Amino acid sequence: MTLTVRASLLASLSLFSFASAAAAQDVPPAQDATASTQAQDERPAGDQTIIVTGTRSSNRTVADSPVPVDVIGSDAIVHTGQTETNRILNQLVPSFNFPQPSIADGSDTLRPATLRGLSPDQTLVLVNGKRRHVASLLNINGTIGRGSSAVDLNLIPGIAISRVEVLRDGAAAQYGSDAIAGVINIQLKNSAHSGRASLTYGEYHTTLSDVAAVTGLQLGPDGQPVLGTVPTNDPRYLLANTDGERKANDGTQVTAAANLGLPLGDRGFVNVSAEYRSRDRTNRAGYDLRPNFNRPTAAFDPREVNFNRLQFRFGDPDSKDYTVFVNAGYDITPDWELYSFGSYGHRDATSAANWRQQAAAANRNYAVLAPNQAPNTANFVPLTDIGFLPLIGTDLDDYSAFVGTRGAVAGWKADFSVGRGYNSFDYQVSDTLNTSYGTASPTDFDAGGLRYAQWVANADFSNEYNIGAAKPLTVAVGFEHRRERFKIRPGQVESYAAGPLAIAPITTTAANCITTLSGRFDPATGICSFPGRAAPAGAQGFPGIPASAQTNQARHSWAAYAELDTDPVANVTTTLAGRIERYSDFGTTVNGKFAARWEFLPGYAVRGAISNGFRAPSLQQQYFTTFSTNFIGGVPVDIATLSVTAPAAVALGAKPLKPEKSVNVSLGATANPLRGLTLTADLYNIKIKDRIVLTETLGTGGTGNIATVQAQVTSLLLAAGFPQVSAARFFVNGVDTTTRGIDLVAAYNLRTGSLGKWTLTAAYNRNKTKIDKRLAAPGALAQIPNIVLFGRVEGIRFTDGQPRDKIVLSADGDFGQIGFTARTTRYGKVVSPGSEPPLAPNQTSLTAYGPDDIFLGRKWISDAELRWKPGGGTEFALGANNVFDVYPDRSPFGLRPGSTTAANSFPANQEYIPYSIFSPFGFNGRFVYARASVDF
């Protein structure tokens, strides 16, 4: 489709589209616990929907809220065509970002999402108003959300959701830790007399943008493959014949879901939702044209000609999920209700690590070498015939259960509840080996696992008093007790240990080294080394969690809050909240919030809020520990991710983590110039002090590109008595940041008679984060000149790694038996930082761009769905996400522009890993689906 035609279609849609889909949904009040779904005409207008997030008043609506709250109804969730909640919110909420990384270990399976460009763990998630537990996984790879543990929203199936309320404002004073960016409150379905069943089938039909379809290698007159030559080609790759762009039909996804509401006599209800989702993997890798086989002579291995060069896997993993949610309530007396809700979810997924070439050190049999024999191409003996692709299997189990009762105590509304959440994440690595064990290595490994549990108990009270104000004063007070526990389970020994083919250098005598140990002796240093025993240790692809990392840590906290909510005079709404919370590990924090709205003319209002907030350091950030052994320059280096209390980390200057502290200020305006039309604008400024980040890996030369750093860090560790740790990283309160942005939202509920009923929506978010201050190196690290704890790459991930802005335009309508949804989303610019430092004279700059940084341009992603309702509650739908098959900008590869030497080249992997994992809409291409459903 031409750009002109595409632009015309998007422009036509834009004429009918103003506002976030979130702001325009018609949903029944949350208090209606037993009524079946109302007819569309009986639902309140979107801006008159009663909200339960951001206020404890019982009659606050979207229209008179002093802070912005988006409400996403169940219809909007269904009409996206997606069945993962994170992908649904990414389509509907402009300030929500959900990149979909690949080759990122556990983050392939449990992908983090963000709100307002902040960290995934700075958004609080509630279910039915109760705190949802976070995942046990800590994201420590180079993805958005590095160093965070977040709630896995994809464990909450869309069919269980009545609506989602997204509070876009700081709310720690009302809800406690994590609510810096905002709050996502998921309300479960509560009908007692209705149900729904659906079956969705879809798959990707796509053409990879700027990725060549290789038909074979170019061969010379002698029948041998041909390497590229400078300056025409990159000499790292074999020349190939191509035919257009690579096509893919994969990622088949089947989702079966059902929801059923049943009465419990005439006094209660139980609502059950279940979903099963099976998703085949996608692969958006390009062809790997590097020579794969060992080359001891000038001639290539003859297998190069017919070798399958799509060995890499780059995309969504194979995944099977099943989840069950139950929501129930029962009136035990006229004044008291017993309620309960809970869930169980399970996910099996298999993702891939990087392909290990046949000629790689990871595939070498070191047993054929003498300890003093240097490895080279002539003495290479492979462990596998063609190389191998390590597969990382993850087994996730998750459950939660809440039980409570609400009623009246001495004239006060009261709500007592207790709940538990639990998440486990286990690793199984297969089709791989621990090279240091040689031919004795297993090929499948139990690589260990993580556990997180949370207990939370709440007591909430509220009452209304007539004090002569325009509306009664709502007084709410409450108490919360929370207990958390984090565990690390080690893997089997072979998954992490250094086997007999990995021997570290030692200091000894020449005679002992040469005669007894068969090593190489350096008389200048007295060091005996073993080049023939330099096999990489640990399971390739994902080294297991070692026994030394075993962890079992807990903490608890107590909190009390108070909130006042009233209209002191006509058309003026105010909310005042305060909270004090004490944690067993870092002490007490006090937070407050004031919000107000003034409707100065009928339908026109201004609003604003100011608050301070906090986020407690997670147990994962405080206690996560693991070790991996890498060979750097042929020498085994143990790299440790250390807890802040580990003696080696303390020796380097690590200190107990403090909570992150924020100050949120927002100012906005709302207008209803026409019946059914709502316009809102909100500016926000979020300053966060002591943000918790993971340091650079200290001791590998990766800190400010200073050559002496590695030796000096290693010396510090050695002097402190930790010779087994040559490089380390740990969490610190490392940076202060400021995030500024604006949300513009409009919604128009249009009733056109013969043309049916339409909801036209549009929204815009612009967001920018700036680093105000970086932590100076603490303790012993301060002795090292120019050392950087939080470097350029991580800094750019903070400031430029998420879209600068985002636009969502949509039109959703029904006319007779036909329904139609069209949506287009524009994702703004993103920078994906590379490891190469900036060019002179900015080599040490922490903000300048480097030659390998990738700049992802703005992209429009359009979705469409057509529905037919023949009657009897049945519905059939056909649709496509990313209709125009748009991809992020292709990563550059080969020689850099103007290069005349092979050394001046882009990273080699960008030839076969064509897209950045920072893409805010992923990189899978067009998804086509069909759905059949029945309401009863």
pLDDT in tens, 418-430: 999 999 999 999 9
As beta bridge partners, residue 329 has: 269, 339
Is residue 506 in a domain?
no
Average confidence (pLDDT) over 327-346: 97
- Find out whether the peptide bond into 841 is cis, omega within 30 degrees of 0: yes
Is residue 546 in a domain?
yes
696 band by pLDDT with thresholds 50, 70 and 90: confident
Alpha-carbon distance of 825 to 823, in angstroms, equals: 7
Q: What is the pLDDT of residue 51?
A: 66
Instruction: Identify whether the C-beta of residue 694 lies closer than 8 Å to the C-beta of residue 624.
Output: no
Is residue 529 in a domain?
no
Q: Among 603-617, 622-636, 846-860, name the one with the lowest average pLDDT.
A: 622-636
Model confidence at 920: pLDDT above 80: yes
Average confidence (pLDDT) over 296-309: 96
H/E stretch holding 734: strand 731-751
Residue type for position 263: P
787 band by pLDDT with thresholds 50, 70 and 90: confident
Q: Count how many domains the chain has.
A: 1
Average confidence (pLDDT) over 324-331: 98
Which phi and psi (to 5°) does residue 343 adopt? -155, 160
Q: What is the pLDDT of residue 783?
A: 82
Instruction: Identify whether the C-beta of residue 287 lies closer than 8 Å to the C-beta of residue 238.
Output: no
- Can you say whether residue 251 is alpha, beta or left, with left for phi > 0 and alpha for psi between -120 and 50 degrees? left
Which phi and psi (to 5°) does residue 321 adopt? -125, 140
Q: What is the pLDDT of residue 722?
A: 65
Model confidence at 707: pLDDT above 60: no
Q: Where are the alpha helices (DSSP H) in 154-283?
A: 172-175
Q: In this structure, what token pair is assigned to residue 101?
A: 């990384």
Q: Which of 645, 453, 445 is nearest to 546 (CA)?
A: 445
Cβ of 840: how many Cβ atoms within 10 Å?
Answer: 6
Alpha-carbon distance of 576 to 560, in angstroms, equals: 15
706 band by pLDDT with thresholds 50, 70 and 90: very low
Alpha-carbon distance of 189 to 180, in angstroms, equals: 27
Q: What is the pLDDT of residue 886?
A: 98
Average confidence (pLDDT) over 114-134: 95
Is residue 224 in a domain?
yes
Q: Where are the alpha helices (DSSP H) in 720-875?
A: 792-800
Model confidence at 595: pLDDT above 80: yes
Is residue 343 in a domain?
yes
* Terminal-residue alpha carbon distance, the chain: 41
Q: In this structure, what token pair is assigned to residue 241?
A: 């014949």
Q: What is the pLDDT of residue 798?
A: 93
708 band by pLDDT with thresholds 50, 70 and 90: low
- Can you say whether residue 786 is alpha, beta or left, with left for phi > 0 and alpha for psi between -120 and 50 degrees? left
Average confidence (pLDDT) over 891-913: 91
| 150 SS3 class | coil
SS (H, E, C) 520-560: EEECCCCEEECHHHECCCCCCCCCCCCHHHCEEEEEEEEEE
How far, in Å, are 188, 285, 461, 668 from residue 429 at the CA level?
36, 21, 50, 51
Instruction: Identify whether the C-beta of residue 128 lies closer than 8 Å to the C-beta of residue 161.
Output: no
Alpha-carbon distance of 191 to 336, in angstroms, equals: 19
Q: What is the pLDDT of residue 43?
A: 36
Cβ of 437: how many Cβ atoms within 10 Å?
Answer: 21
H/E stretch holding 244: strand 240-264
Q: What is the pLDDT of residue 637?
A: 54
Q: Which of 328, 305, 117 is nearest to 217 (CA)?
A: 305
Model confidence at 97: pLDDT above 90: yes
Instruction: Identify whether the C-beta of residue 202 lies closer than 8 Å to the C-beta of residue 930.
Output: yes
How far, in Å, are 432, 640, 780 from residue 724 at the CA level?
25, 10, 18
Q: In this structure, what token pair is assigned to residue 169?
A: 């404002």
How big is the chain, counted in residues? 936
Please provide the average confidence, as pLDDT, over all residues in the chain.
Answer: 89
How far, in Å, are 288, 380, 435, 490, 630 from residue 440 at the CA level?
30, 18, 9, 21, 20
Q: What is the pLDDT of residue 36?
A: 32
Q: What is the pLDDT of residue 65?
A: 86
Burial of 386 (0-12, 13-18, 19+ CB in 10 A): middle
Q: Which of 520, 498, 526 is nearest to 366 (CA)?
A: 498
Q: In this structure, what token pair is assigned to residue 456?
A: 């939370």
Model confidence at 3: pLDDT above 60: no
Model confidence at 580: pLDDT above 70: yes
Average confidence (pLDDT) over 144-158: 93
Alpha-carbon distance of 23 to 761, in angstroms, equals: 8
- Find out whether the peptide bond into 531 is cis, omega within 30 degrees of 0: no
Is residue 528 in a domain?
no
Residue 823's domain comprises 3-180+190-499+535-935
- Can you say whether residue 642 is alpha, beta or left, with left for phi > 0 and alpha for psi between -120 and 50 degrees? beta
Average confidence (pLDDT) over 753-770: 91
Q: In this structure, what token pair is assigned to residue 286?
A: 């390009």
Q: Which of 137, 1, 124, 49 is nearest to 425 (CA)?
A: 137
What are the pLDDT digits (tens) for 816-845? 899 999 999 999 999 999 988 999 999 889
Q: What is the pLDDT of residue 604?
A: 96
User: How is residue 335 annotated by DSSP?
Assistant: S
CATH of the domain at 22: 2.40.170.20
Burial of 416 (0-12, 13-18, 19+ CB in 10 A): middle
Compute CA 372 distance to the chain's CA centroid, rounded to the nearest angstrom: 46
Instruction: Identify whether the C-beta of residue 906 lies closer than 8 Å to the C-beta of residue 896.
Output: yes
Cβ of 119: how many Cβ atoms within 10 Å?
Answer: 27
- More confident call, 45 vs 329: 329
Is residue 520 in a domain?
no
Q: In this structure, what token pair is assigned to residue 603?
A: 């339908």
Q: Which of 30, 29, 33 is nearest to 43 (CA)?
A: 29
Alpha-carbon distance of 520 to 713, in angstroms, equals: 26
Q: What is the pLDDT of residue 475?
A: 96
Is residue 403 in a domain?
yes
User: Computed over its alpha carbons, how large is the radius of gyration of the chain?
Assistant: 29
Model confidence at 11: pLDDT above 60: no
pTM: 0.91
What are the pLDDT digits (tens) for 492-530? 999 999 999 999 888 899 999 999 999 999 999 899 999
User: How is residue 793 annotated by DSSP?
Assistant: H
User: How is residue 654 annotated by DSSP?
Assistant: -
Q: What is the pLDDT of residue 179?
A: 95
| 909 SS3 class | helix
Q: What is the pLDDT of residue 342?
A: 97
Share of the chain above pLDDT 90, in %: 76
Q: In this structure, what token pair is assigned to residue 148?
A: 């965070």
Alpha-carbon distance of 499 to 517, in angstroms, equals: 16
SS (H, E, C) 113-148: CEECCCCHHHEEEEECCEECCCCCCCCCCCCCCCCC
Q: What is the pLDDT of residue 260?
A: 97
Rounded to the nearest 10 degrees, how much is the dihedral formed by the CA atoms of 775, 777, 778, 782? -150
